[in-house]
Amino acid sequence: MKAKIAEIFDSVQGEGLYLGEKQIFVRFFDCNLKCSFCDTKLDRFMEYEPQELFKEIKLYNNRYHSISFTGGEPLLCKDFLKEILKLTGKHGHRHYLETNGTLAAELEELIEHIDIVAMDLKLPSSTGMGELWDKHRSFLKIARRKEVFLKTIICQSTEENDLKQALELIKEVSPGSILILQPNSNENHGALNEKLSKFKKICGQERVTACVIPQIHKIVGVR
Ligand code: SF4
């Protein structure tokens, strides 16, 4: 059983609620979506068996907050991921899953091994794709069994109605979960400020806790 892995490295988490935590990153190559703002331009990978990847992870010590399984979309390789999670779990690692939040059946098979789910909510007016609300709903129903926070990319094109629909979904399925509003790093942050303030205010009115957090690793120039 092999998986395409684009890179393995250690760094600090550059976005979301665990900003600044030291992590080991395992980036999976393939993705099932095509978001217009995608900045993950992967052009190479290595194929690994679970034991081979585990051997590489073991080169790092255990003084990390967690292992971040990211992508691409890690859940596309759920059988492989399950094997790795069992191995690294036995080794005392915590597991942080960064996911686009669309593959509920795959998450169901793995959730017992995951500690933290960093789940994207893909707003149609941001991604340029169709609606994913039903997929996100099914996914979040499983993810809420563990620690979960949500993240959504805000672009110039993002519509207020999409944000409101996302807030309804959070209130319905996982009330109390925190939403990160992340400005699109490909756009001028200054131009997005007004929209971000307005959206944060709407979150407050709808009683969903929201934080505006940009991708800090790009600002400070770390990997
Ligand atoms: S889900 Fe993530 S990796 Fe996949 S296309 Fe969208 S932004 Fe890129």
Determine the pLDDT at residue 42. Answer: 84
Determine the pLDDT at residue 93. Answer: 94
Give strand pairing partners of 154. Answer: 183
Strand runs (DSSP E) across 29-93, as ranges?
A: 46-48, 66-70
Take atom 7 of ligand 1 and give the residue whose Cα is closest: 38
Determine the pLDDT at residue 100. Answer: 98
* DSSP output for 142-169: HHTTSEEEEEEEE-TT--HHHHHHHHHH
Token pair listed for 80: 């492989």
Task: Give me the residues of the chain with pLDDT under 50, please.
Answer: none
Determine the pLDDT at residue 189. Answer: 75
Determine the pLDDT at residue 221. Answer: 64
CB 66 within 8 A of CB 94: yes
Token pair listed for 49: 């068996």
Return the amino acid letter for 113. H
Query: Structural domains in the chain?
Result: 3-220 (3.20.20.70)
Residue 131, CA atoms < 13 Å, CB-side half-sphere = 10
Q: In whole angstroms, how large is the CA radius of gyration of the chain?
A: 17
> Does 72 contact ligand 1 (Cβ within 6 A)?
yes
Q: How many Å lie between the centroid of ligand 1 and the Cα of residue 124?
A: 13
Give the predicted TM-score (pTM) of the model. Answer: 0.95
Determine the pLDDT at residue 46. Answer: 96
Write the CA distances from 6 to 31, 43, 104, 175, 190, integer angstroms. 12, 8, 23, 35, 32
Determine the pLDDT at residue 220. Answer: 61
Q: At 194, phi and psi to the nearest 5?
A: -60, -45
* Tens digit of each residue's pLDDT (9 = 90 or more) over 28-79: 999 999 999 998 878 899 999 999 999 999 999 778 999 999 999 999 999 9
Whose tokens are 């081979």? That residue is 52
Q: Which residue from 27, 33, 97 has its CB within 8 A of the most atoms of ligand 1, so it is best to mutate?
A: 33
Number of the ligand 1 atom closest to the C-alpha atom of 127: 6
Q: Which residue from 25, 28, 30, 38 has its CB within 8 A of the most atoms of ligand 1, so it is best to mutate?
A: 38
CA 82/CA 110 separation, integer angstroms: 6
Token pair listed for 88: 């690294």
Give strand pairing partners of 61. Answer: none
